[in-house]
Structure 1
Amino acid sequence: MPDGTYDVIVIGAGSTGENVAARAVQGGLSAVIVESGLVGGDCSHWACIPSKALLRPPEALRAAQQVDGARQAVAGKVDAKAVQARRDTWADHDDQGQAEWLASVPVDLVRGHARVSGTRQVSVTGTDGQSTTLTARHAVAVCTGSEPAVPDVDGFDQVQPWTSREATTASEIPRRLVVLGGGVAASEMASAYSDLGSNVTIIERGPRLLGRFEPFAGDGLADSFTDRGIDVRTTTSVTAAERDE
């Protein structure tokens, strides 16, 4: 992994980092991306793509059930295993295609763990353990995304809770699922797993689901969830957790 100087260094090859690097190149600058995991980041491999792949089959079934002519032809429920298999075709955790796209832009890709070590300077420890230093003429863009925040709740260390990553990649459908939080990711997983056969409870400490959106959105979603058999509990905090085996 040779030392190099670029106009822009981007740390993180998720959707934001990819776009920053591509826009820099489109503007006539040179760019490199440093990524310690998969090119494409959470959106491609653990979030946007797999979650929508889980949601689409049940949505298609519900849409058909609401149309005369189609309703009469539709019988049964979604096949959970088939839905998961379809998800895996969309999110197979192979980033070769996206790495090839970066090369076509062209954006250089350095695989390893990055650390800002000076003014417009980044030290990278590669997957082979070797270290190198990259220097930016103009800017270093930190696009590392975020990680799920696990609440400090008594018993959580024993119940082995899922984060969004486990929820979008699970191979089994739990009999019961409690979803903490009422944001977009939580609501998507509550919807998906309810459709796939889980008995779902969603708990939100605020007054409504989708608290960052207009009130009618959260209220409408809660009504829809209730109609579908999802137990919606707002203005509720979790004080302890235990797994019922």
Structure 2
Amino acid sequence: MVIPVHDVNPTRRTPWVTYALIVANVVAFLSMPGIAGSVTGGSTLAELCRLEAFTEQYALVPRELIHGQLPPLVPTGEAGLGLRGPGCVLGPPAYDKWPVLSVLTSMFLHGSWLHLLGNLLFLFIFGNNVEDRMGHVGFLLFYVVCGYAAGYGFALLNSSSTTPLIGASGAIAGVLGAYLVLYPRARVWVLVPFLVFLPLRLPAWVVLGLWFVLQALYSAGEAVTEAGTVAYTAHVIGFVTGMLIAWPLKPGTPPPPEPGGILFGRQARRPSW
């Protein structure tokens, strides 16, 4: 798996929406109860129970979204002692949850720092050019639509699942799909793990095409990983949605600049005549 670090594709305007989405994701993540303890590895049972209750309330749950019914018992956020030992107390929902709105709130929650930073890295590198092409308002609407398409698509394919789904991956996958359509020849600097991290400059169609193929292969064998926080099927649906929405914009999209002879981080020396 390659790690993108920078693309050679300048923008004409400041990507304020991309920056705002990054900040919103970080703020939402830090607002999740028990996150500080999870970073240091010192989460208490009470913190874990509060986090579980918070996630249950604001995450996308496929069964709730498709059938519109809340479960009779949910985590209350309190720790207690039961017949099987310490655990989280269950009780009737003390909140009114709108499953349709939970698709939006789930897009700003993440299960770990690695999950968050990985998503934001892709959004930072590829979101600015897509926003530059679509405009600020258009890009924001595009981002939300891709997130909803990914969430609903995953829920329809897993309508009986009660596992909470969180993360911006579906929406960001839509950004990647749009970038692939609009700028397939743009050069992207990546790090390839081969004994050490080897820097390479590859076309976007190679980097994002490989990413999509891996997501499709993973989704064929396993729908959810990392305890329900990452859904490969949602990635695939979001990516395809982004491609379809961006396709009408392709004819008027200016091509990215030529690489200029840069190879492996150095300026290629021109031969003298």
> Aligning the two structures, in what range does the TM-score lie when normalised by the shorter sequence?
under 0.3
Larger Rg: 1
Scaled by the length of structure 2, what TM-score is found?
0.25
| Bigger share in strand | 1
Scaled by the length of structure 1, what TM-score is found?
0.27
| Bigger share in helix | 2
